């Protein structure tokens, strides 16, 4: 066992393996030990692939930046040959892929050891992780609370030190939401930065992205270097960065122009702790020499959130059609919310869907003008601290009320999916109850470099990795 495992990020673990201080087999054994003792309380890992992982290590791993580092994939979007691709749904419980996704192949080439798949909400609809198929994932800071979603299993594993980082996807905030709820760094890349091939061209009309939740900024940067770039045939891609993202970590930021928000698009209530977190982050940025002032981009919030909901309803219908050919399945095959959302999505015409996307693109252009004046927009990641298990109950068929509740929780994260901009949750604040409260930093389209430089500066000024949840674990 590696005694310092809990304190090491992925690059540090890889350095130990590269220097032959520990073996990849020892790292995997340690990760499995942590999972055996901590996962029962959290239900974060739902599809173990330990035998495959041991076989890969025994056969010899590729020489890459993460050789020997254990890793998990989200049970949504990506495919692993030999493991079901369930989308956290009974409808897909026995769906077997015929090949690895392109991102999985790239992760393997980087030397990562894939040891399982993590809990998600059904089709990624909920900002919590409580599927009927797998049950609720729990927050290691307090197991009465959700780790967020839909990448809640990934965030729970990383926060509980079962893994140093894990794959995550994001259609309305599903990297940043659980990163905020679990006290992690979580970056959603620019639209087109990471390929969805070969299974798909894009997700949710371009709203969906994938990357990871990590404990350190440098792990996120190095991992994005590994997975970024188009696959042959992709319909579009983000512009190539000037240099590797890892080189941005520790690079000078310059004096950035930062606008910050303490009121919500759409006028939703924001918990005082989330506002306090933004004020504290703004003061920290100012102390580091940046120009900081209160400012918010202009856009039609009512239109944006209505059309955002339309895209998700059509997405639910599409996920059903991909499996059934178009017919709704027996109700028991889907959670009531998913069934109702898919039924609504089927009734939306192609013209109405196309018009919704056109309106979202129009509003995204309005938001983009804000970033002609500012380098960064600082906001609460969420409008409240982590929610208790069951707050986003998918046993309801009231689609309109449920989506209003969701949008009220994620107005800041969802906007960056609509615009395609990169945005990161930075864990700088904990409330009086000891729960993490994240701040979102968004940059202009294609500019992950500035986010990595600023996030690394914040990490150095106010480190967060030493903060660990006191989880009750099995002996």
pLDDT tens-digit profile of 343-361? 999 999 999 999 999 999 9
pLDDT(241) > 80: yes
**CB-based contacts of 151: which residues, under 8 Å, 6+ apart?**
74, 118, 120, 129, 166, 168, 169, 170, 174, 175, 177, 178, 213
Of 125, 149, 114, 127, the C-alpha closest to 44 is: 149
Cα angle value 322/327/333 (rounded, 5°) = 80
- Is the CB of residue 117 less than 8 Å from the CB of residue 445? no
- Which two tokens mark 5? 């495992």
Residue that has been written with the tokens 């974060």 in this structure: 44
Using DSSP bridges, classify how beta strands 257-260 and 291-294 pair: parallel, antiparallel or unpaired. Answer: parallel
Q: What is the pLDDT of residues 350-394, one digit of tens each?
A: 999 999 999 999 999 999 999 999 999 999 999 999 999 999 999
The pLDDT of residue 474: 58
Of residues 231 and 201, more confidence is placed in 231
- Is the CB of residue 342 less than 8 Å from the CB of residue 317? yes
Enzyme catalytic residues: 74, 150, 174
**CB-based contacts of 45: which residues, under 8 Å, 6+ apart?**
35, 39, 72, 116, 117, 118, 119, 153, 157, 162
Of 103, 319, 104, the C-alpha closest to 195 is: 103
Of 142, 343, 323, 103, the C-alpha closest to 231 is: 103
User: What whole-number distance in Å separates Cα of residue 239 and Cα of residue 244?
Assistant: 13
User: What whole-number distance in Å separates Cα of residue 424 and Cα of residue 408?
Assistant: 19
Q: What is the mean pLDDT of the chain?
A: 97
User: What whole-number distance in Å separates Cα of residue 100 and Cα of residue 207?
Assistant: 23
The pLDDT of residue 473: 61
DSSP-assigned letter for residue 104: H
Give the up-direction half-sphere exposure of residue 93: CA atoms within 13 A in the CB hemisphere: 10
Question: With left for phi above 0 and alpha for psi between -120 and 50, is residue 365 left, alpha or beta?
Answer: alpha
Of 21, 30, 23, 108, the C-alpha closest to 58 is: 23
Report the number of secondary-structure helices (H) and strands (E) in the chain: 14, 13
Buried b (16+ CB within 10 A) or exposed e, 361-372: eebbeebbebbe
Spatial strand order of the sheet with 209-214 comes to 165-170, 209-214, 185-188, 423-430, 436-443, 376-380, 257-260, 291-294
The pLDDT of residue 70: 98
pLDDT(326) > 70: yes
pLDDT(418) > 90: yes
DSSP-assigned letter for residue 198: T
Share above pLDDT 90 across residues of the chain, in percent, rounded to a whole number = 97
Q: What is the pLDDT of residues 22-47, one digit of tens each?
A: 999 999 999 999 999 999 999 999 99
The pLDDT of residue 471: 83
Banded pLDDT at 475 (limits 50, 70, 90): very low
| H or E element in which residue 376 lies | strand 376-380
Q: What is the pLDDT of residues 186-230, one digit of tens each?
A: 999 999 999 999 988 899 999 999 999 999 999 999 999 999 999
* Domain annotation for the chain: domains and CATH numbers: 5-461 (3.90.1300.10)
Buried b (16+ CB within 10 A) or exposed e, 275-300: bebbeebbebbeebebebeeebbebe
The structure's pTM equals: 0.98
């Amino acid at each position: 066992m590696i005694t310092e495992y809990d304190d090491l990020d992925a690059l540090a673990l890889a350095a130990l393996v590269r220097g032959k201080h520990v073996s990849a087999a020892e790292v995997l054994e340690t990760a499995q030990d942590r999972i055996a003792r901590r996962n029962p309380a959290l239900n974060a890992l739902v599809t173990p692939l330990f035998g495959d992982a041991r076989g890969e290590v025994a056969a010899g791993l590729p020489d890459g930046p993460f050789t020997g580092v254990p890793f998990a994939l989200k049970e949504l979007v990506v495919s692993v040959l030999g493991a079901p691709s369930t989308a956290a749904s009974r409808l897909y419980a026995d769906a077997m892929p015929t090949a690895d996704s392109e991102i999985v192949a790239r992760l393997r080439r980087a030397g990562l050891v894939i040891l399982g798949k993590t809990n998600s909400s059904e089709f990624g609809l909920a900002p919590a992780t409580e599927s009927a198929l797998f049950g609720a994932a729990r927050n290691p800071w307090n197991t009465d609370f959700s780790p967020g979603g839909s990448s809640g299993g990934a965030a729970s594993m990383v926060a509980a030190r079962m893994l140093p980082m894990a794959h995550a996807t994001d259609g309305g905030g599903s990297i940043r939401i659980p990163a905020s709820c679990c006290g992690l760094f979580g970056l959603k890349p620019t639209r087109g930065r990471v390929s969805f091939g070969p299974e798909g061209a894009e997700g949710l009309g371009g709203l969906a992205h994938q990357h990871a939740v990590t404990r350190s900024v440098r792990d996120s940067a190095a991992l994005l270097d590994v997975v970024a770039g188009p696959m042959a045939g992709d319909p579009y891609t983000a512009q190539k960065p000037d240099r590797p993202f890892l080189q941005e970590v520790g690079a000078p930021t310059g004096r950035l122009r930062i606008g910050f928000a303490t009121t919500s698009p759409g006028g939703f209530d924001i918990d005082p702790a989330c506002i306090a977190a933004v004020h504290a982050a703004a003061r920290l940025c100012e102390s580091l020499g940046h120009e900081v002032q209160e400012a918010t981009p202009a856009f039609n919030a009512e239109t944006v959130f209505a059309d955002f909901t339309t895209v998700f309803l059509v997405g639910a219908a599409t996920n059903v059609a991909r499996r059934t050919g178009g017919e709704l399945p027996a109700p028991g095959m889907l959670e009531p919310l998913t069934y109702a959302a898919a039924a609504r999505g089927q009734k939306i015409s192609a013209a109405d869907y196309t018009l919704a996307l056109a309106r979202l693109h129009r509003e995204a252009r309005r938001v983009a003008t804000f970033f002609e004046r500012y380098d960064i927009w600082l906001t609460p990641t969420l409008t409240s601290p982590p929610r208790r298990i069951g707050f986003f109950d998918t046993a309801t068929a009231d689609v309109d009320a449920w989506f209003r509740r969701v949008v009220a929780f994620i107005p800041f994260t969802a906007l960056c999916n609509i615009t395609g901009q990169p945005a990161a949750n930075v864990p700088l604040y904990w409330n009086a109850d000891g729960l993490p409260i994240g701040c979102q930093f968004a940059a202009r389209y294609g500019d992950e470099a500035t986010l990595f430089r600023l996030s690394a500066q914040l990490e150095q000024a106010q480190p967060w990795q030493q903060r660990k949840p006191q989880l009750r674990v099995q002996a």
